[in-house]
Amino acid sequence: MTITYKDTAGIAGMRVAGRLAAELLDYLAPLVKPGVTTNELDRLADAYTTQVQGATSAPLNYAPSGHNPYPKAICTSINHQVCHGIPNDKPLKKGDIVNIDVTIIKDGWHGDSSRMFIVGEASVAARRLCALTYEAMWHGIIKVRAGAHLGDIGHAIQTFAEGHGLSVVREFCGHGIGRSFHEEPQVLHYGRPGTLDQLKAGMTITIEPMLNTGRKEIKELGDGWTIVTKDRSLSAQWEHTVLVTETGYEVLTLSQGCPPIPSFVPVAAPAATPATV
């Protein structure tokens, strides 16, 4: 698979898909509270996607080589789950942290985003992890511009994360996105500046670091999808879909429900206070 570059029409399609992904997370935010099951969140997300947005869910029945079809419309990864957690009937409880990962398909274009949600009063360590992972994502985003390298993104994320005592999951990464859910290139969240593919205007990629409070090692559960930390330490992830421009970047998955953009980010963008439930 080769890297795809979006023309004006493609960029317009990606903007719509990205906005819908962000709006789906906005819709789910007030519903994430103690006692709700992730199966209920999945049901509501699927209904909103299909009936309100006139779109479809990319994760539902997604079946890359070697995997059984993913059975749900969203991914819900709780506490020590790193990614690809499958919604179930277990209620969320106070103190949980949960990542909700959504990907919308609208008119053939994909918009991919995830956010962390804190259920009630979580521990100091959990809140710190969620906040620092969000900042780590943005440290990667601000490196995006035509002429930069993928290694610049990974290095920025790794340096920030490890400087705060967090580990970076190596086995999963960001990716190109467009007409296909997963395109080239792979976007590593660690690395060296000036290495790997050079960014060019028209590329659309996801930046989605997964950081752990403990060690970086992970394992897959028996369901064939859910990834957890080997040492059962907490894990967090945030994700945006980003367009590479000649002068910098455009984040395609921003909305009024997104957390405030960190003060070190030089480009102004819409901001709002995240929901704590």
| 269 located within any domain | no
Print the domain residue range for 219.
8-251
Q: What CATH number does the domain containing 152 carry?
A: 3.90.230.10
Question: For the chain, what is the domain count?
Answer: 1
Check residue 275 and give its pLDDT.
Answer: 37
Residues ≥6 apart with Cβ < 8 Å to 119: 32, 33, 34, 92, 93, 94, 95, 96, 97, 98, 277
Residue 166, amino acid: L
Check residue 267 and give its pLDDT.
Answer: 59
| 274 located within any domain | no
| 83 located within any domain | yes
Cβ atoms of 138 and 240 within 8 Å: the answer is no
Check residue 261 and give its pLDDT.
Answer: 96
Closest among 108, 86, 90 to 99, alpha carbons compared:
86
In the chain (277 residues long), the average pLDDT of successive 10-residue segments reads 91 98 98 97 98 98 91 98 98 98 98 97 96 98 97 98 98 96 97 96 98 97 96 98 95 96 75 35
| 3 located within any domain | no
Check residue 277 and give its pLDDT.
Answer: 34
Reported pTM: 0.94
| 267 located within any domain | no
| 56 located within any domain | yes
| 273 located within any domain | no
| 208 located within any domain | yes
Instruction: Give how far Cα 68 sits from Cα of 18, 59, 62, 225, Å.
Output: 27, 12, 8, 9
Check residue 115 and give its pLDDT.
Answer: 98
**What count of other Cβ atoms lies within 10 Å of the Cβ of residue 167?**
21
